Amino acid sequence: MEQFRKQTAIIAVLVVLIACSAYYAKRFNDQSKGVVKNGKEVTETSKTGNSNFFAEARIGRDNQYSTHKQELENIINNKNSTKQAIEEAQAKLMVLADWADKQNKIEQMAKQRGFEDAICLINENGVELCVKTAEALTREQAAQLMDDVVRTTSISPSKIVIKSQK
């Protein structure tokens, strides 16, 4: 019975994480209109009243990461966890740490390219990068950012979305 409760709790937390991910993804997508996908389309985003977009997105991403990390650590440290569940949790934890490192590297590269701020989200579906810029992204800027993301993550350009935010 206790195993059932633990599994139910884990499932409930995962559902909450998925809901949070959906909320932040929708918010992230609603915040910007201009999207550069596969280096083919370059448009300008609309100006939003939310000047804290990047800070809020970063906090949300970090909170989600911390929650997911804690759940995986709970599985690893639980005496009742199966060996397979522990191995899977350890593998997922390594992937999360790798994604966090790559997100930070990509954000730093974008800032080094002259963008005021950047937020990068990496998950199993691909990469989303949003940069703060006063003007529309040029094709050259988008290509440079795309190259940075591909070199850092080894993810196919077809799974990378680059956006600009004022």
Question: What domains sit in the chain, N to C, each tagged with a CATH number?
Answer: 2-165 (1.10.287.4300)
pLDDT (tens digit, 9 = 90+) per residue, 53-102?
888 999 999 999 999 999 999 999 998 989 999 999 999 999 999 999 99
At 121 the three-state DSSP class reads: strand
**pLDDT value, residue 94:** 95
pLDDT (tens digit, 9 = 90+) per residue, 87-142?
999 999 999 999 999 999 999 999 999 999 999 999 999 999 999 998 889 999 99
Tell me what percent of the residues of the chain surpass a pLDDT of 90.
59
Evaluated on CA atoms 70, 76, 77, 78, the torsion sign reads positive
Strand pairing report for 160-165 and 126-132: parallel
**pLDDT value, residue 28:** 60
Q: Does residue 32 register a pLDDT over 50?
A: no
**pLDDT value, residue 72:** 92
The predicted model gives 146-157 an average pLDDT of 94
User: Minimum mean pLDDT among 47-51, 76-80, 113-117, 151-155: which range?
Assistant: 47-51
**Are 46 and 166 within 8 A, CB to CB?**
yes
State the pLDDT confidence band at 41, using cuts at 50, 70 and 90.
very low
Task: Tell me the whole-structure pTM to 2 decimals.
Answer: 0.69
**pLDDT value, residue 10:** 72
Alpha-carbon span 161 to 31, nearest angstrom = 14
